[in-house]
Homo-oligomer: A and B are copies of this chain.
Amino acid sequence: MTDVLRIGVVGVGIMGADHAERLARRTAGARLVAVADPDEVRAKELAGRFDGVRSGGDALELIAAEDVDAVILASPGSVHEEQVLACLAAGKPVLCEKPLTMDSESSLRLVQADREVRGRLGRSLVQVGFMRRFDPEYSQLRSVLAGGTLGRTLLLHNVHRNASVPHADFRSEMIVRDSLVHEIDVARFLFGEEVVAIQVMSPAPTTHASPGVVDPQVAIFTMAGGGLVTNEVFVNSQVGYEVRCEAVAERGSVVIGRPSAGLYSATLAADGSGQWGGTVPADYRTRFATAYDLEVQSWVDSALRGESVGPSVWDGYAATAVSSAGMTSLATGERVTVDLVDPLTLSPNASSTKEPS
């Protein structure tokens, strides 16, 4: 491979367009060569923003193309299995947006397929888009906890709020599958342990959610070592994008995600009082801009070196398995046990966050 990685992007929605911009403008060693989407008009519009980028409607064609060295999948989760398998067949590194797939069975199949490839190539080809691991705050928090000066980690408290979500076709399960899944990966990343049980509780919902939608939700994870994680996910909070995490350890706690940008004093009120404060970003692209940049730069760098360093297909499978259990719990209110399976023996596995070997 040369010193430039020629990349195709599959999916041209918000996330795909964002990745295309990133590759074309801000990533060293990357060259965006093609985009593909069933909506060919939109794909063409996106390609037209850059010099020398072609567009098409067929993801598999893009994946197979000779001038495409590596692929970013920003397509819907329901087509990830087929597309990741195509990348594996072509021997091309793929960065697959979360969720890896829509159920744990298909995710497990990808674990098995990637293992087969790894046996041949000596390295994995799949990285899953859990970009928070590249966020400087989450990354620093992990270092602090792993460093051990605060002792063993006991609890996490996660808060995850979106101002609003589209109402059409929105279902309560999506909160678990698309939002809570990030907190699942965060818990695994920070504890360095699997989630062994999940309970999703349904408070009286906000009137800003669609009728029948449970929002906010409160979820409790039990970690393999006995730690607990509390999670609030609230996707119609009306207030911008807020993601916070507090880790509680034996000799101290750490909070990340506090509002941190400029501090304003302004806005004279009628009684002469004023307000201080700052802005809550509108969405995840602002909050995690640096995380996405670092994620993609790291993926490109490791692909050029022939290595594989980011969140693995196992991480994707584990997160899918927990969120599937979470959807069951959402329906019943009961605590549901998560049983990860060794991809070789299909026997239970929950000892660490590493794929058994």
**Which residues of A approach B to under 8 Å, CB–CB?**
3, 24-28, 30, 51, 136-137, 140-141, 144, 150-152, 154-155, 157, 159, 161, 163-164, 201, 203-208, 216, 218, 220, 225-228, 230, 232, 234, 237-240, 242, 246, 248, 250-256, 258-269, 271-283, 290, 297, 301
Contacts and interface: CB of A to CB of B under 8 A. Distances in A.
A227 B163 CA distance: 20
30 contacts: A3-B51, A24-B28, A26-B297, A136-B261, A151-B206, A154-B216, A157-B157, A157-B159, A157-B232, A201-B220, A204-B225, A216-B248, A218-B220, A218-B230, A230-B230, A237-B253, A238-B274, A240-B269, A253-B265, A253-B266, A254-B263, A264-B277, A271-B282, A272-B282, A272-B283, A273-B281, A273-B282, A275-B277, A275-B280, A277-B278
Nearest to A4: B4
A155 B203 contact: yes
A250 B3 contact: no
Most buried by B among A137, A230, A253, A267: A253
Complex copy number for this chain: 4
Contact of A151 (B30, B207, B228): B207
B266 A155 contact: no
Contacts of A30: 28
Given A203-B226, A255-B262, A275 B279 contact: yes
A280 B276 contact: yes
Given A278-B277, A279-B274, A280-B274, A140 B204 contact: no
A281 B273 CA distance: 5
Contacts of A260: 258, 260-261
Contacts of A272: 163-164, 240, 282-283
Contacts of A141: 262
A347 to B, nearest CB: 25
A219 to B, nearest CB: 10
Nearest to A242: B265
B264 A232 contact: no
B280 A265 contact: yes
Contacts of A255: 262-264
A170 to B, nearest CB: 16
B204 A227 contact: yes
Nearest to A272: B282
Contacts of A238: 250-252, 268, 274
A206 B249 CA distance: 8
B283 A268 contact: no
